[in-house]
Chain A
């Protein structure tokens, strides 16, 4: 009987293709929204965590100022000195690398082409702390750092914009007014979680940067890489204690620097995407509700249109429950069809989004099952009232219906 009802339902959908599709739009849009949002959301989360891990594993970033990155006051705050770095190198246990850095945007010129890039002054520890690899050449040496040599390491974006057809190693590029010789090319990291191109970078010895590019001896931040995830917290505490001392901060005064754990930033960012997904999911739920009402409406119309058919069925011995089943199955089949179209559309949208936003495409089978289950449920709930109307028809009246 169920199978018969299923076949009848399919036939009735086929008879009114356009009407069925229009009826289903609400469900299709609702399901597509849910599928697309969840897929894009989990892709974005995946992207964020992989971006954060690309910044360097177990990484802490020490910055001057205490209002977070980019907040006003951050740049005006007292920067770090070599003494601070020395004290950290001697005092913090369980860390792989402590890398003082300073950076600035500058024009990079090679031959007749130029580009704007982030120029960073650092020592060799920088490449360890931020997990950089080399695809060509290698880091500048300790003596380069000490002697403030005119050498640099460049990111892949610089290679592709300035030196596309030459071997970059040994070439001399101009950074600002300073010529410097390329000794290494960094492996690509792609876009950061904040949307900047991490490969558009020139790294040179810190002292070279300070003297020739920045014109001061400021260290604008310190990257610290802990040995293990469990060491991050204790490293954070001991960095704070040491810097308070070297920077002469009174016991009751606030720090004029911040030590941020990248995993915290990651957690904050995923919490934001989760919230967005949740909110948009609520919108999708409203759309599903509207879709359900559409289904109810069209089922009521269908029952009225087919009153005579229902009368015939009742007269030749259909039980009220069999008529009820038939119309319920029809509503459920309609909704499942809507669910199916919605899943396809949702994945299509998520695929497009992941292509254009450069985030991973992360389809979740659980969501598909849920979307189908939910569409079926909508069919049952909103199909019940029209189906009950059909089942309650008086066969004599129904047969007289034109």
Chain B
């Protein structure tokens, strides 16, 4: 479903030029659960940004679900994110002073969905992440684990094909981290959502069925586990 071919990404110009990605080839099949690991500066965040259509490659091609992303405009990429992608961040990135339900509804607001339909879908998403009853709480009234669940609900409310999670457990303690990983695993299995996750922790990466190690803008190691 995802196919990167000879993708490079450079920042800056001339002497100050930094190569974050040096000719990356990567294919990810629909329904897989991929963990991306690697040291800081190895290119994993850049890869995530490109996969998430937040950033564009300096050269090379990116094909997403049969769509060539390479030359798409800003708005076209925004529409792609809106329709096919869900994001989960390390810092949760919920809107402050906004209730959990409103946070979850947000992607649907931008789709122009009618209010009652929106609410129905958001409630279902809240239920799916196990936060039924917390709809009217604001982020500051929720624990870190709960906030991340809200963020996951927000990411899945629009039924995305791919869920991109950038260190989703980076700000959580071990127990909550495992909860979140089990939730991601469940979403991957039950709904067939492709999950691509960046993580530093090997025990989190163990939940994935494919682990990709990045080093210096290349894939250093690509470990495919047998389906459990």
A residues apposed to B, CB below 8 Å: 1, 4, 11, 15, 308-309, 311-322, 395-396, 399
Contacts and interface: CB of A to CB of B under 8 A. Distances in A.
Given A396-B49, A399-B89, A317 B54 contact: no
A1 B82 CA distance: 15
B95 A312 contact: yes
B154 to A, nearest CB: 7
Contact of A317 (B55, B82, B94, B95): B82
Give chain B's interface residue range (CB within 8 Å of chain A). Answer: 20 to 34
The 3 closest A-B pairs by CB, nearest first: A317-B82, A316-B107, A317-B81
A54 B189 CA distance: 92
B214 interface: no
Contact of B93 (A1, A319, A322, A399): A399
Contact of A316 (B55, B82, B96, B97): B82
Contacts of B89: 399
Which of A11, A15, A322, A395 gathers the greatest number of chain B CB atoms within 10 Å? A395
A183 to B, nearest CB: 80
A316 B155 CA distance: 8
Given A313-B106, A320-B78, 4 more contacts: A1-B109, A318-B78, A321-B75, A395-B54
B29 interface: no
Contact of B110 (A316, A395, A399): A316
Nearest to A12: B97
Which of B78, B79, B81 gathers the greatest number of chain A CB atoms within 10 Å? B78
B110 A319 contact: yes
22 contacts: A1-B110, A1-B112, A4-B109, A15-B97, A311-B93, A312-B95, A315-B87, A315-B93, A316-B81, A316-B82, A316-B87, A316-B107, A316-B110, A316-B154, A317-B78, A317-B81, A317-B82, A319-B78, A396-B54, A396-B55, A399-B89, A399-B93
B118 to A, nearest CB: 10
B75 A319 contact: yes
B137 interface: no
A25 B96 CA distance: 28
B97 A317 contact: no
B93 A317 contact: no
A317 B79 contact: yes
Interface in B84-120: 86-87, 89, 93-97, 106-107, 109-112
A11 B138 CA distance: 14
Interface string B15-48: 0000000000000000000000000000000000
Contacts of A11: 97
B186 interface: no
Nearest to B92: A312
Interface in B37-83: 49, 52, 54-55, 74-75, 78-79, 81-83
Contacts of A316: 81-82, 86-87, 106-107, 110, 154-155
Contacts of A396: 49, 54-55
Nearest to A316: B107
A76 to B, nearest CB: 80
Nearest to B87: A315
Contacts of A317: 78-79, 81-83, 107, 110-111, 158
A314 B78 contact: yes
Nearest to A315: B87
Interface string B102-146: 000011011110000000000000000000000000000000000
A388 to B, nearest CB: 14
B181 to A, nearest CB: 22
Nearest to B89: A399
A320 B54 contact: no
